[in-house]
Amino acid sequence: MAQPAAPRRRESDDRPRPALIAPTPPGPLGAPDPDGVLRSIDMALGAARKGRRHLVLLAISVSDDPAPAAEARLEQVATIVRNMVRGTDGIWRDGPRSIAVLLADVDGPSVEPVLARIRLRLKKQMPGRTRMGRSAAAPGIGAADLLDLARGDRER
């Protein structure tokens, strides 16, 4: 009886995939830039569709404390999240008290451990101060709708 043939592999199977988005520069997040965030998400969506890759968007907000405290807390949240995600994931400030985090090449069951670690870390280091929602990029969805879905999930 003949042995089954080994699965055929493409030469590209061993190559690393290019990043969907440019790495987020280290340091403070800067001023909110909602239009820039939407443009960045839209570009990542286009690249993901072209390469048949997955994206998950997180919307994280801090509680409504006085402005100086909220600003410091938002920077602290961004630092916590930045230290937990890969360099190929993006973090942007999309509002005065919120950030958007784009996780590339994860979806479904593979994203759940990442989300659980981020939730637990934020809950431990900032109890009752943050809310997090997520949305997965469905075919044909635009950046604004993806961000609205993540924000809506956050408010549950």
- pLDDT given at position 126: 87
Confidence of residue 155 (pLDDT cuts 50, 70, 90): low
Alpha-carbon span 43 to 35, nearest angstrom:
12
What sections of 51-111 are H helices per DSSP? 67-82
- pLDDT given at position 122: 92
Confidence of residue 2 (pLDDT cuts 50, 70, 90): low
Domain edges within the chain: 28-154
Q: Average the pLDDT over each of 11-20, 70-79, 102-111 and give the range with the smallest value.
A: 11-20
For helices 67-82 and 112-125, angle between their N-to-C axes, nearest 10 degrees: 140
Tell the residue number behind the tokens 């509002």, with chain if given.
Answer: 95
- pLDDT given at position 3: 65
2: tokens are 């003949």
Alpha-carbon span 69 to 117, nearest angstrom:
25
- pLDDT given at position 69: 80
pLDDT over threshold 80, residue 91? yes
pLDDT single digits (tens) 30-59? 888 899 999 999 999 998 888 888 899 999
Domain 28-154 falls under CATH 3.40.50.20:
no
Region 126-151: mean pLDDT is: 91
Confidence of residue 86 (pLDDT cuts 50, 70, 90): confident
pTM of the model: 0.82
